[in-house]
């Protein structure tokens, strides 16, 4: 079987266009412009690239973008004071604190100081609990993007066997909750899982989110399975820098029914879902109906 390629870049463009449409409607009919505040502490180069890209796309869909760049030595009190200000600012509907934070800052404390209704990353402990109990929450962007692509490809996921490889708070655990919410039978696999190849071979859906370049070979993939590759790993091959996923794309594409490439798969969906979450947060804050197809 030669896999259908799931084009995340095109899908993300479609999601952003839907968001832009809704934002235009909100402005016209309600006089409201959604606003996203992004907080960056320090000068981590990769984080700077992400934050710039988020700001640009926020403006492109017609939202207000508020960027707060703080010195690497910023104290916890000063960061918490900024978050408190943003929590109380009615023009700000979404708040994202870029991770990782410098070592002297307590990430859990900082994330849990964000108003859960504005926590567009879905990392606040309240949102984690709401998702885990099947209640309305803010859903982490990368897993939400994966779920959208899976629903688009399959329609219903009910009864499918899904394996999530990786147990991070940002991707693995919320991904498993979302799949469970869509009535999959879910296995979370990780570095201590026994017989990982056998576990993966049983899956109709494989979500790989471990951050190890090409660790899932094609012969672990069940014929016709759907493979969602969350990994973005920089490697050097033949003297060139290359981006590869957690799945060996070439061999997996020979067995899978559908597969996301790296780059151009899950990656572009993350920011699209951040914008979708900001729109959702804005609608909820104003007691307006939530956008259709953009939430879990």
Distance CA 146, CA 270 (A): 9
Segment 119 to 178, residues that bind ligand GUN, using CB under 6 A? 121, 141, 170
Contact between 98 and ligand GUN (CB under 6 A)? yes
Residue 231's nearest CA partner among 262, 196, 198, 191 is: 262
Segment 170 to 229, residues that bind ligand GUN, using CB under 6 A? 170
Burial category of 263 from C-beta neighbours within 10 Å (exposed 0-12, middle 13-18, buried 19 and up) = middle
Burial category of 245 from C-beta neighbours within 10 Å (exposed 0-12, middle 13-18, buried 19 and up) = buried
- Taking each helix axis from N to C end, the angle separating 267-285 and 141-154, rounded to the nearest 10 degrees, works out to 100
Residue nearest to ligand GUN (CB): 99
Say whether the peptide bond before residue 52 is cis (omega within 30 degrees of 0): no
Choose between 19 and 253: whose C-beta lies nearer to ligand GUN.
Answer: 19
Choose between 39 and 188: whose C-beta lies nearer to ligand GUN.
Answer: 39
In the complex, least distance from residue 175 CB atom to ligand GUN, rounded to whole angstroms: 13
Helix, strand, or coil (residue 95): strand
Number of Cβ within a 10 Å radius of residue 276: 27
- Residue 65 per-residue DSSP state: E
* Token pair belonging to 95: 């708040």
Choose between 121 and 182: whose C-beta lies nearer to ligand GUN.
Answer: 121
Which residue's structure tokens are 């688009």? Answer: 152
The C-alpha R_g of the chain, in whole angstroms, comes to: 19
Q: How many residues bind ligand GUN, per CB under 6 A?
A: 7
With contacts defined by CB under 6 A, name the span among 1-9, 62-70, 90-98, 257-265 that binds ligand GUN: 90-98
DSSP alpha helix (H) spans, 61-121: 76-87, 107-111
Chain centroid to Cα 90, Å, comes to: 25
54 in catalytic set: yes
In the complex, least distance from residue 113 CB atom to ligand GUN, rounded to whole angstroms: 14
Q: Which of 18, 22, 121, 246 is catalytic?
A: 121
Contact between 97 and ligand GUN (CB under 6 A)? yes
18 in catalytic set: no
Choose between 57 and 170: whose C-beta lies nearer to ligand GUN.
Answer: 170
Choose between 169 and 191: whose C-beta lies nearer to ligand GUN.
Answer: 169
With contacts defined by CB under 6 A, name the span among 69-77, 95-103, 204-212, 287-295 that binds ligand GUN: 95-103
Q: Which of 18, 98, 173, 229 is catalytic?
A: 98
Contact between 96 and ligand GUN (CB under 6 A)? yes
Catalytic residue set: 54, 98, 121
Q: Which residues bind ligand GUN (CB under 6 A)?
A: 96-99, 121, 141, 170
């Amino acid at each position: 079987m030669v896999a259908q390629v799931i084009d995340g870049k095109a899908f993300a463009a479609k999601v952003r266009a839907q968001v832009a449409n809704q934002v235009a409607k909100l402005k016209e009919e309600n006089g409201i412009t959604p606003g996203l505040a992004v907080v960056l502490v320090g000068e981590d180069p990769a984080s700077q690239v992400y934050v710039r890209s988020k700001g640009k796309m926020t403006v492109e869909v017609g939202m207000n973008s508020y960027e707060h760049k703080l010195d690497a030595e910023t104290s916890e009190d000063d960061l918490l004071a900024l978050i408190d200000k943003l929590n109380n600012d009615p023009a700000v509907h979404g708040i994202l604190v870029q991770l990782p934070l410098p070592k002297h800052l307590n990430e859990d404390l900082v994330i849990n100081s964000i108003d859960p209704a504005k926590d567009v990353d879905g990392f606040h402990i309240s949102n984690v609990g709401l998702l885990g109990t099947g209640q309305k929450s803010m859903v982490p962007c990368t897993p939400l993007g994966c779920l959208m692509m899976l629903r688009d490809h399959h329609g219903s996921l009910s009864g499918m066997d899904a394996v999530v490889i990786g147990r991070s708070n940002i991707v693995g655990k919320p991904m498993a909750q979302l799949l469970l919410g869509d009535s999959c039978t879910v296995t979370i696999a990780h570095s201590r899982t026994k017989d990982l190849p056998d576990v993966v071979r049983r899956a109709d859906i494989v979500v790989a989110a471990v951050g190890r370049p090409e660790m899932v070979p094609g012969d672990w993939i069940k014929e016709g399975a759907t493979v969602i590759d969350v990994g973005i790993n920089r490697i050097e091959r033949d003297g060139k820098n290359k981006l590869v996923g957690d799945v060996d794309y070439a061999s997996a594409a020979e067995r899978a029914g559908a597969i996301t490439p790296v780059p151009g798969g899950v990656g572009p969906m993350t920011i699209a879902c951040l914008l979708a979450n900001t729109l959702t947060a804005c609608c909820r804050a104003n007691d307006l109906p939530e956008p259709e197809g953009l939430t879990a």
